[in-house]
Structure 1
Amino acid sequence: MTAAEDVTNRRSLRDVAYDELRARIVGLELPPGTRLIERDLAEELAVSRIPLREALQRLQRDGLVVVVPRQGAIVSPFTVDDVRDLFDVRESLEVLAARLAAERATDEGLAALAAQLDIARDATERRDEAAIAEANARFHGLIVDLAANPLLESLLQPLGARTQWLFHLTRDRDAGVQCREHEELLAAIAAHDPERAAHSAFHHVHSGREASLKMAAEWSEGDIDPVHLTKSRRRGGA
């Protein structure tokens, strides 16, 4: 194997590890505070330590993992304050994204957004909670695409995983209400009405704040010390 082929293969294995761990974390299969033992994960994912560590570093940049040097890694200990901070940012940046999307959306982009809403409706009718969370996260991602602002996209991209994690955490919220709010948001963007779109986006994000904070408080296991946890030999949550 050439050096170039080795790099390509390692990148592919890194991506496999990243995608699988990301899905487990945002889907709450690996809850906050879970210790991530390299030896076990490498065996489970059939990858070597090098691409696994690269995947963990990428997940750390996403805010999903905390890596303690020379000790190990855990799933980030999301707290109620973290969820509150996430809403603060979303209420600003996602409103801007909706406003810009209303100004710049193309017919092709609007068709993609409408198709994604259909996917969310179908998931809602089937009461498939995992599919609902994924479809709603993708809907918001497409609005950012329609905004056609690379700087805004770069600011929101690191929040994507945490937002999807939030949708899984709060998937007991009324999915039908979320669908109707998305319908209004789509209508405002399709009408190329920036003010209406901004208002709809703010209402949609803000309406979920208190319920999400309450769920986060009930779901949280309290303070999690990454250094203490990574000293333990046991794999598991706090």
Structure 2
Amino acid sequence: MADRAYLTLREGIIGGRYPIGSRMRERELSAELQVSRIPVREAIAQLESEGLVVTQPRRGAVVRQLTLEDIGELFDVRLSLEVLAARLAADRVRAGASTDRLRELMATADRVTRAGDEQAIREANAALHLEIVTLSGNRLLGQTMAPLVGRIRWLFALTSDRDPAVQCREHRELCAAIEAGNPDLAEALAYSHIELGRVPSLTALAGRLPEQ
């Protein structure tokens, strides 16, 4: 029940059902989710550990107020972790690791991009990024990335006005480099893909989020 509550609340935050600054009252959420307050409390604690929720004096748990500084820091961390993941993934493929799952997810991303389904595009892109981390084979890297996945998906949702066709093309090129077992090219393309998203994302969010 705690897992179900966590997933439901996380998707609600990412999708905007629970807007930034809204209170996460245990009693109301337990009634909404039809569970006791204990799994809701556990879910909120997990969301807080992932940076989606904060606890404030006299207000309790609220959906975190993201800032432009937060977004910039998230891009900085992604440049370190996801670029490393791309390089390691290509190394593993060169050593014989299968890319079947990566190819499958890229095909899904292609399909939903052509269909113009915004939510499906966000989910497919997030799954693709996560699979590259998994394909890296580095467990510590995976454990380090896990708490950031929600915030990355939240970023994707907040900046959905970026051109999905451009993102899809960049993903396709990155996946091709990984499948070719070319770590140098995969590293460069991963860096370029993330960094090229920084300015459009910050521009899209300027005026919607505070600076700090």
Q: Same fold (TM over 0.5)?
A: yes
Whether the 8 Å contact between 1:137 and 1:164 is mirrored in structure 2 is yes
Q: Structure 2: give runs of 5+ residues left out of the alignment.
A: none
Of 66, 70, 75, the match for 1:82: 70
Residues 223 and 91 of structure 1, relative CA distance in 2, 3 Å threshold: closer
Q: Does 1:141 align with 2:126?
A: no
Q: Structure 1: give runs of 5+ residues left out of the alignment.
A: 1-12, 225-238
Deviations 1:127-158 (A, max 9, x none): 11111011100000000000000111111111
Partner of 1:89, secondary structure, is helix
Whether the 8 Å contact between 1:28 and 1:165 is mirrored in structure 2 is no
The one-letter code matched in structure 2 to 1:203 is S
Partner of 1:218, secondary structure, is coil
Q: Does 1:102 align with 2:90?
A: yes
Of 187, 194, 211, the match for 1:198: 187
Rounded to whole Å, the distance in 1 between the matches of 2:50 and 2:98 is 26
Rounded to whole Å, the distance in 1 between the matches of 2:211 and 2:31 is 30
Structure-2 residue corresponding to 1:230: none
Give the superposition deviation at 1:31: 2.0
Rounded to whole Å, the distance in 2 between the matches of 1:141 and 1:148 is 12
Q: Does 1:56 align with 2:44?
A: yes
Rounded to whole Å, the distance in 2 between the matches of 1:45 and 1:109 is 40
Whether the 8 Å contact between 2:68 and 2:211 is mirrored in structure 1 is no
**RMSD after superposition:** 1.6
TM-score with structure 1 setting the length: 0.84
Give the superposition deviation at 1:29: 2.1
Structure-2 residue corresponding to 1:183: 172
More displaced, 81-90 or 104-113?
A: 104-113
TM-score with structure 2 setting the length: 0.95
Of 197, 200, 205, the match for 1:216: 205
Deviations 1:34-80 (A, max 9, x none): 11122111110001111110000011111111123674110111110
Give the superposition deviation at 1:24: 0.7
Rounded to whole Å, the distance in 2 between the matches of 1:167 and 1:152 is 21
Give the % identical residues: 48
Structure-2 residue corresponding to 1:233: none
Partner of 1:183, secondary structure, is helix
Structure-1 residue corresponding to 2:139: 150
Give the superposition deviation at 1:109: 3.8
Whether the 8 Å contact between 1:33 and 1:75 is mirrored in structure 2 is yes
Structure-2 residue corresponding to 1:124: 113
